[in-house]
Structure formats: C-alpha cells, structure tokens
C-alpha cells in the first residue's frame, strides 16, 4: 500500500543533503523505503547535490584541517553509544526492515504498550523511539513542545486530522494537540523522533510519561 501522508519537499531535500538531525533523517528514510514517489524526489535532490559539488571549484584545505582528517582516519573505529547494542536475538520484536536498528531495553507502560529508545549514529539531544500501542487503544491527550516526526511502520491510528497507515509520515509541533486512537484491527508500531519531550494534557498521561521516558 502506498502512503498517503508524505514529508515536505524541504525535509526530503535536507535528508538527501545529510543536513537533517540523525533521528529525523531515520524517520524520513523509513518513509522513503515505503514511498516510491518520495524516494524518486530524494534521488533527484541527491543527484542535484552531486552536480553542485562537481561544479564547485576545489577548496584549499588548511594544514590544521588536513592534520585532523589524518588523525580521524588513524583513530580506532567509532565507539558505540553508551547502552547501545546491535540487533540480537531479543530484537525479534523490531518491525520488518528495521532488524538492524540499535535499540535500548523495551519499557512496557501498559498492556500491549511499549516504548524503546533507538540509538542514532551521532551524538544528539533528540529523542528517537519506537512505540507500540495495542489495537483499539487511545493515547493520552498531549501536545508537542518541539518538532516531532513519526512514520507508521505497522497498523494504523487516527486523530482529528486523518487516518495514518503503514508508511505514512506525520509532522507535529506545539500547534497540534491530539489524542490518537489505534485501529481496532491490530496494534500500531511507529518510529518517532522529537527534539523535545511531549507535553501531556491529562493526569493519566502525566502519570505514565516518566515510565515511558517520552
């Protein structure tokens, strides 16, 4: 099924140029993997970026920068982020196509509901996580204090603005206050990235937030 909700052209271009924060890029790429239209757009931006680079006159590198580059090449491989681990037997819960994600421990925050942090390659203050919510469940009413990007990986949910199924991309910020409802026919798994925690609007949400870490 082709997704109905897509990232903006700006986001796709930033992702192709490698200037997007790593978690956000991961969420955009999760959409691209399921959306031939946006994948074609990303390919166009990548080739455009390559052509621009080729057209640039060669830049003079300073001696210090050259030394730093040599030191980086000589340094041992990048250390894994603290607490991160590669996919292993107990990552069997990861959705298809994301088996290689480095994830933290799953936290169960209710029957059929878990959240797990996703480790990104670079140091980053953003929060990246996988969230699974059981069929028919309603998320506590909340808003967003920063920009949040979500890609639905499995199942679907609905809010006042529409219905979001596999591959759909959702961008939210502090102007969006909602209480998503998961479809009754199956659990919903989403990959999300945010640069600030959610702001819970009701007492149930405020109670669960510290356990969920989101």
Query: Which residues of the chain form contacts with Zn ion (CB under 5 A)?
Result: 6, 35, 38
Contact between residue 89 and residue 108 where contact means Cβ atoms under 8 Å apart? no
Other C-beta atoms closer than 10 Å to the C-beta of 17 total 14
Dump the DSSP string for 111-157. Answer: TTEEEEEB--SS--SSEEEEEEE-TT-BPPPEEESS-EEEEEEES-E
Least separation in angstroms between residue 8's CB and Zn ion is 10
Q: Output 6 or 119, the one with its CB closest to Zn ion.
A: 6
d(CA 209, CA 177) in angstroms, rounded, equals: 16
Please state, in angstroms and rounded to a whole number, the distance separating the CA atoms of residues 213 and 12. 28
As a whole number of angstroms, the distance between CA 179 and CA 137 comes to 10
- Residue 41: CB partners within 8 Å, gap ≥ 6? 9, 12
Closest approach of Zn ion to the CB of residue 135, in Å: 26
DSSP tag of 18: T
Q: Which CB atom, from 121 or from 154, has the smaller least distance to Zn ion?
A: 154
Query: Nearest distance from residue 160's CB to Zn ion, in Å?
Result: 22
Beta carbon of residue 141, minimum distance to Zn ion (angstroms, whole number)? 28
Q: Which is nearer to Zn ion, 38 or 115 (CB)?
A: 38
CB of 105 to Zn ion, least distance (A): 32
Select 26 or 38, whichever has its Cβ closest to Zn ion: 38
Complex with Zn ion: residue 114 or 164, whichever CB lies closer? 164
């Amino acid at each position: 099924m082709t997704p109905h909700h897509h990232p903006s052209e700006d986001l796709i271009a930033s992702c192709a140029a490698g200037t997007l924060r790593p978690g956000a890029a991961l969420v955009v790429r999760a959409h691209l993997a399921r959306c031939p239209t946006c994948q074609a757009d990303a390919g166009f931006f990548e080739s455009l970026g390559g052509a621009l680079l080729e057209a640039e006159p060669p830049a003079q590198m300073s001696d210090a920068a050259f030394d730093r580059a040599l030191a980086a090449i000589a340094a041992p491989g990048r250390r894994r982020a603290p607490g991160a681990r590669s996919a292993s037997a107990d990552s069997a819960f990861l959705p298809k196509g994301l088996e290689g994600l480095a994830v933290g421990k799953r936290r169960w925050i209710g029957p059929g509901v878990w959240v797990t942090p996703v480790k990104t390659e670079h140091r980053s203050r953003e929060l990246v996580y996988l969230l699974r919510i059981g069929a028919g469940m309603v998320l506590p009413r909340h808003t967003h204090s920063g920009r949040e990007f979500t890609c639905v990986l499995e199942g679907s949910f609905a809010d006042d603005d529409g219905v979001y199924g596999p591959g759909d991309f959702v961008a939210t910020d502090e102007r969006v206050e909602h209480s998503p409802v998961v479809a009754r026919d199956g659990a919903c798994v989403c990959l999300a990235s945010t640069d600030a925690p959610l702001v819970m609007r009701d007492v149930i949400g405020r109670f669960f937030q510290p356990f969920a870490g989101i």
